[in-house]
A and B are shown apart, each in its own frame.
Chain A
């Protein structure tokens, strides 16, 4: 059974810092991996999707890498801003068919102004 772990569970940094969020998964036979952002009491916003054949994806100040063989992904946030404060979730899709996602517990990020 796929398990997803995110480290750290919480992180608080001053505005402007670059930071890295980590995600690991136990079954490396994934179809793709997605990073999401969740604001308190809200739904999920998709940030980046990395297919199993890809090594990284970039969107603005966000960069996500994938090392499938070692079961790891990182989300890099450059020049953090207070608006980046949210919970960041990592999720993997293990099957290529009609499979749902397996989520980590998330990293609760606070960017101090």
Chain B
């Protein structure tokens, strides 16, 4: 299957700092990538759809100014959590679609102190 990577796999930061997470499709091009968030013992919730060359589409309740998404190329999307706070601590997972199937990255564990 198609491979999606994420970097970093985990990050710990102080409250008020910004954190950037990268999502790459390694062996295919993805015009559309997705960002999900998973809180402990909860399922994945779609945060936003990242579109190459255009603005991201955010789900209701997700602050676009706090979660900045940039889809600079057909293989890279980045999510920047700006001015992170402890309530932003979560597991962030990206996915990319290939031939109608979604392939997920390994996730990034964000802990905000």
**Which residues of A have CB within 8 Å of B95?**
44, 100-101
Instruction: Tell me which residues from 66 to 113 in chain B have a Cβ below 8 Å from any Cβ of chain A.
Output: 91, 93, 95, 100-107, 109
Report yes or no: A42 in contact with B43, Cβ–Cβ below 8 A.
no
Nearest Cβ on chain B to A77's Cβ, whole angstroms: 20
Cross-interface CB contact of A98 among B1, B49, B109, cutoff 8 Å: B49
How far does the alpha carbon of A89 sit from the alpha carbon of B36 in the complex, in Å?
A: 14
Cα A79 to Cα B91 in complex, Å, equals: 32
Contact B51 A46 (CB under 8 A): no
8 Å CB contact of B107 from A42, A93, A99, A101: A42
Assess the B102–A34 pair: CB atoms within 8 A: yes
Residues from chain A with Cβ under 8 Å of B103 in the complex: 46
Task: Give how many B residues have a beta carbon under 8 Å from the other chain's beta carbons.
Answer: 26
- The answer on a CB contact under 8 Å between B49 and A43 is no
Cβ-Cβ contact count across A and B, 8 Å cutoff: 57
Q: Cβ of B100 and Cβ of A51 under 8 Å apart?
A: yes
**Contact mask A10-43 → B, CB, 8 Å, 1/0?**
0000000000000000000000101010000111
What's the minimum C-beta distance from B25 to chain A, rounded to whole angstroms? 14
Q: Is the interface of B mostly helix, strand, loop or mixed?
A: strand
* A contacts with B, residue count (CB < 8 A): 23
The reply to whether the CB of A72 lies closer than 8 angstroms to some CB of chain B is no
CB pair A100–B49 under 8 Å, yes or no, is yes
Q: Are A103 and B109 in contact (CB under 8 A)?
A: no
Q: Enumerate chain B residues within 8 angstroms of A51, measured Cβ to Cβ.
A: 100
Contact of B101 among A43, A49, A98 (CB under 8 A): A49
- A to B CB contacts below 8 Å, 14 in the list: A32-B100, A42-B106, A43-B6, A43-B93, A43-B104, A43-B107, A44-B95, A46-B1, A98-B32, A100-B46, A100-B95, A101-B34, A101-B46, A101-B102
Interface residues of B (CB under 8 A from A): 1, 6, 32, 34, 36, 42-46, 49, 51, 57, 59, 91, 93, 95, 100-107, 109
